[in-house]
Structure 1
């Protein structure tokens, strides 16, 4: 009986450690995408995304499906935004223009999906789960 209790205790401890380690790895690695600012330019709104690849993987393709909503919550525009190439453990800036839409008319941005994700081994299907989003200004950026 004592042996069974000891074996059960060891299983609980090792299982808990494995779960904690897996949670730690998933929290520590990933791709952070921050909407840093929106800036008016001629006939468009320029968006600045700061990306941090906190993984040990080089991404050759990482294309985001980004949806812009107006101030009433209505879809105003949808764009495919390529943020690759992304070197491992590297911070980068990606800039893109949202044509025919004033920055003041953008109420929110949504990271809807990952359209393409490829590393040196080929296509991946787990990239959306790697991403966390944030924003610096007043325009919400959600996932």
Structure 2
């Protein structure tokens, strides 16, 4: 499953983050919560957030977005997919979720695991 950091957008002192979720498999996900750590441009942890990206339908690409309050987009240097907090779906185990999530970035901010 692909999780792409597609865009960062300033929104009233917050940063809106757009994720493109690509689920090419026949599995559906009723729960998929990601543990993300945002690092500042200096490499110091700026914020840790839990992002609920479910539901994800089989063989479907979806856009999910969330706001990070009090953190300007220009202050984000990289994003780490630290873990998968919750994962439930058709023929899915938590171990499968961690292994199958492939982060990528289309923005200037790196997204890794």
Instruction: Tell me which interval the TM-score lies in, with the shorter structure as reference length.
Output: over 0.9
Whichever of the two has the greater Rg, that structure is: 1
1:8-49 Cα shifts (integer Å, max 9, x gaps):
xxxxxxxxxxxxxxxxxxxxxxx1000001000012000000
* 1:59 and 2:29 correspond: yes
Greater RCO (CA < 8 Å, at least 6 residues apart): 2
- What TM-score results when the alignment is normalised by the length of structure 1? 0.76
Residues matched between the structures, number: 113
Following the alignment from structure 2 to structure 1, what is the Cα–Cα distance between the partners of residues 59 and 92?
19
**Which stretches in structure 1 are left out of the alignment for 5+ residues?**
1-30
**Which residue of structure 2 aligns with residue 116 of structure 1?**
86
Unaligned runs of 5+ residues in structure 2 are none
TM-score by length of structure 2 reads: 0.95
Match of 2:108 in 1: 138
Return the alpha-carbon distance in structure 2 between the equivalents of residues 106 and 117 of structure 1.
27
Distance apart, 1:121 and its partner CA:
5.5
